[in-house]
Amino acid sequence: MPDGHVKPVDRLPILWIALGRQRVGKTAMLNTAVQYFRANGNPIRVWNADQQNRSHTLSVFFPDAETVPNSGIEDGKAWIEGRLEDLIQHRYDAVLDVGGGATGFSRLVQEVPLLEAIEGSAVRVVGLFCIGPETADLDYLELFAETDMFMPSASVIVLNSGLVLSGRSTKGAFQPIAEHRVITKATDNGACVAVFPALTCMSAVTDRALTFQEAMNGKAKPGGEPLSLFDRARVNRWWSRDVPEFFASIPRDWLPHAAANGQESEAS
């Protein structure tokens, strides 16, 4: 039963937290997720706690994103605590980009049993461990899982196929990763594996600060240029086919509510 200060709810609020070392695609994946969830009717909130990446942060794509003050790890930790307290009190869905390396989030999970505290307040935490095809990309997952620092029962190991070198298959590139003991242990404990689909013109979209729907429909920011005809077609297929398949590979009750309903409506 939730603590007495928590209001009764029909469903658990969902908190998606992207984890992983730098340059494994956490922001690109969350950018896609927020656009997808909002397109399916969920006004999910966006928390940008990445203090190192300033050019392609979630704040660039979502003007309503709440952004951590760029004043050090301790302030970042306090900022995250404040956001979590607000979510627990007001009961909404959110995504959190914690950034890579030493962060306020990593400091927080070292100090308090964060996962126990959040889930004890009737919030479903979904950990998204973003991984490329390099074995070193498993370090973050290994640290959090094997030290019991932060490994939600709802954990998704996101294999980012956008990081696979040209000419290699996604399956071949990730085979050593998929067979690694860290992945095996995580999946044995209930984690699922989902392959985030590659979009070859992703940088062309993000450099223009376009939404995927804007990009595939030939829109452009003032003073900018739209994507080429063929890149628009690439985005259209990726957004219309590949992205829904990615979210369909994640358990339904780990998705924000409106997104799950949207999948159900599309399938019926």
Q: What is the DSSP string of 161-226?
A: GGGSPTTS-HHHHHHHHHTSHHHHHHHHTT-EEEEEPP-TTHHHHHHTT--HHHHHTT---TT--P
Q: Are strands 66-67 and 14-19 parallel, antiparallel or unpaired?
A: unpaired
In a domain, 213, yes or no: no
3-state secondary structure at position 53: coil
User: Tell me, what's the pLDDT at 154?
Assistant: 96
Q: Is residue 206 part of a domain?
A: no
- The C-alpha atoms of residue 235 and residue 136 are separated, in whole angstroms, by 30
pLDDT at 149: 78
208 occurs within a structural domain: no
Per-residue pLDDT at 93: 97
Sheet with 154-160, side-by-side order of all strands: 66-67, 45-48, 94-97, 14-19, 124-131, 154-160, 192-196
28 neighbors 57 (Cβ within 8 angstroms): no
Residue 188 sits in which domain range?
A: 14-200+244-267
Separation of CA 100 from chain center:
13
Burial letters 222-239, b for 16+ CB under 10 A, else e: eeeebbeeebbebbeebb
Residue with structure tokens 């007001």? 90
Per-residue confidence (pLDDT) for residue 100, from 0 to 100: 74
Provide the greatest CA pair distance for the chain. Answer: 56
Is 75 within the bounds of a domain? yes
In a domain, 221, yes or no: no
Q: Which residues of the chain have pLDDT under 70?
A: 1-10, 51, 53-55, 146-147, 258-268
Q: Look at the chain and report how many structural domains it folds into.
A: 1
Distance CA 50, CA 108 (A): 14
**Residue 136 domain-assigned?**
yes
Residue 225 lies in a domain: no
Residue 260: its pLDDT value, please? 60
What is the pLDDT, as a whole number, of residue 165? 87
Instruction: Identify the CATH number of the domain in which residue 30 sits.
Output: 3.40.50.300
**How far apart are the C-alpha atoms of 250 and 60, rounded to whole Å?**
27
Query: Tell me, what's the pLDDT at 50?
Result: 84
Amino acid (one-letter) located at 14: I
Output the pLDDT for position 228: 97
Residue 216 lies in a domain: no
